[in-house]
Structure 1
Amino acid sequence: MKKADCIIIGGGIAGLQASIQLGRYNHNILVIDSNQGRSTICKCYHNILGWPDGVSGEEIRRLGKQHAEKYGVHFVEDKVLSLQKLDGSFKMKTEKNEEYEAKTVFLATGLVDKLPDIENLFPCLGKNIYVCPDCDGYEVTGKKTVVLGGGNTGAHMALTLSYWSDDIVFINHEQAPVEAAIAEDLDKHNIQVIKEVISKVLLDDKEDLMGFELNSGKIIEAERGFTGFSGNKMNSELAKQAGVRLNEKNHVLVYPRTKETSVEGIWAGGDLIAHSEQVTISMGDGSQAAIWIHKRLMGEGPPDGDLV
């Protein structure tokens, strides 16, 4: 069985930042990463300090791994299937039949966006088609924008984006019902609603968005796109196994000062916990958790506080 001072489950933004901080404390750190999550699909983040021209999730992950390895952090590509606390330490088993033991654990397993299987959708994510208005609403300023989504969730996204653009079309790809009051708001904002299935995202020879082709053959031209689907999946299964408390939406509850969960010795951060889903916030979670993991490894107990 392989042992570490801390095992970080998830090599996305929060996990990488935690690994860098813990590596600088000279602890024995292992990151187990299954290579999923938002940072693997986003072609360009536009709102991160130090990257005025944007940076892809792939590039941040590459540089973050390189940075952490500089401090002796080890990485394994695998998926943790079980997590339990036994005799004061944490035992894990993985998809590749490996077994690990750690004094502390940082959960950074994130979420998986619900995205339909539409041709040419994934090459556009973070480039011309976005998932988060707080991150990328600015990118649709004054541009014809299509929201591809379903029901109330898609309608709410369209209304949110009307702050930046007066030329919004909502394609109700899932053909789910929209509440009357919300439909009225869409009408007030002159947002066109099309209740049809999208068959294809249309791209030019540079893989830039040109529009959307519907099953009927109709073409809806667009400069930008946004997704608006309900049902994003929180990767909180390991937290549940370990007895960590969750909220009603399956976000992990943590102490705000430390990011430690209800199970002593397990911390969590990033999109797995309840907050705005932002790269910069995930970085902060990783650093904050790592500082308190270090304190615990040095023998300091948890401070007082309440879960949120």
Structure 2
Amino acid sequence: MIYDCAIIGGGPAGLNAALVLGRARRNVALIDNDRPRNAVTHASHGFITRDGVTPAEFRRVAYEEVLRYPSVDHLRAEIVSVGKIGSGFALLDSSGRRTQARKLILATGVKEIFPEIAGLYPLYGKSLFNCPYCDGWELRDRPLVLVSEHPSVYHVAKLLLNWSKDLIVCTNGLASLSEEQTGKLQAKGVAVKEQPVTAFIGSHGQLERVRFADGTELPRTGGFVTPRFVQSTPFAEQLGCERTELGGVRTDALGRTSVPGVYAAGDASYFSPSQLIYAAADGSRSAMSVNLDLTEEDFES
């Protein structure tokens, strides 16, 4: 069987794309390795009617809705390679199974690369996060820390003051703040620490202190750590898709990549902000583009 569209990735972008294409009566292979990036998150926020939903519950309800449409097949598999075959695409999974499709949506998401700081991972998703819009409310008015090696540290620090005025900004040994920016933050009561952070100290998922390279420690009860994002799969590179300056898959306004027949949706495309509602909307957009292009091809053939 040759599917109308194969979707790699079962996050909100891939799920919403499958929903739209299923409702358009397209034969869809929704391929998911069942390893969602937000599995460590206790709750997802910012999605109207779904605010506070757990990632597991979101996926359960989404799959239940998507698989009501008989033209959508859910394939639990790890795709290892993709390539062109004729006018379509062939996808090979780790079991040796090959799936063919006329169109391909990359909804593969990203991987987070965090600074190497002891104690981070036991606290991540509980009292340390990366997105203020996702988790700032839960940490409101608490003593917070922002650890960021990214040039956006100044912007994020200003944002965080909407949730808490008790903020320490740490550049982890990098000169990512100008003297002017440091002065402006300090004028707002924000402490700036430029030396490296060596450890997050806490228990039962709750941050208690931040330790610095000189051995000093400061009490904090929550915070944000800025990761570096990279593509979670090599498929865009295998297919020759153009990339953005940040590393996302470059698309036009309808989700088409530079490779005809290949579309990208969700975090893999725009990299930030990483929110359910953005990704789901992007999946819907790309699915409509796929259906439009298939319709034009079939009508003219």
Class of the TM-score when normalised by the shorter of the 2 chains: 0.7 to 0.9
Shift of 1:101: 1.0
Q: Deviations over 1:194-228 (max 9, x none)?
A: 42434344134xx4x24235277755333321112
Matches within 5 A, 1:51-200: 51-52=50-51, 54-72=52-70, 73-116=72-115, 121-122=120-121, 124-150=123-149, 152-154=151-153, 156-172=155-171, 174-181=172-179, 182-194=181-193, 195-200=195-200
Instruction: Quote the Cα distance in structure 1 between the aligned partners of 2:64 and 2:163.
Output: 37
Q: Which residue of 1 aligns with 2:261?
A: 265
Q: Deviations over 1:101-125 (max 9, x none)?
A: 1111111011112224656644554
Of all paired residues, the percent bearing the same amino acid is 27
Asked if the contact 1:162/1:189 (under 8 Å) is kept, the reply is no
TM-score by length of 2: 0.84
Q: Secondary structure at the match of 2:267?
A: helix
Instruction: Quote the Cα distance in structure 1 between the aligned partners of 2:176 and 2:250.
Output: 32
Asked if the contact 2:200/2:209 (under 8 Å) is kept, the reply is yes
Matches within 5 A, 1:191-210: 191-194=190-193, 195-204=195-204, 207=205, 209-210=206-207
TM-score by length of 1: 0.82
Q: Deviations over 1:30-66 (max 9, x none)?
A: 12223445433322122110134x1122321222222
Change (3 A) 1:272 1:93: same
Letter in 1 for 2:246: K
Asked if the contact 2:46/2:275 (under 8 Å) is kept, the reply is no
Change (3 A) 1:284 1:139: same
Q: Deviations over 1:92-143 (max 9, x none)?
A: 2233333221111111011112224656644554443221123333443322
Cα root mean square deviation, aligned = 2.9
- Unaligned residue ranges in structure 2 (runs of 5+): none
Shift of 1:282: 1.1
Q: Secondary structure at the match of 2:103?
A: strand
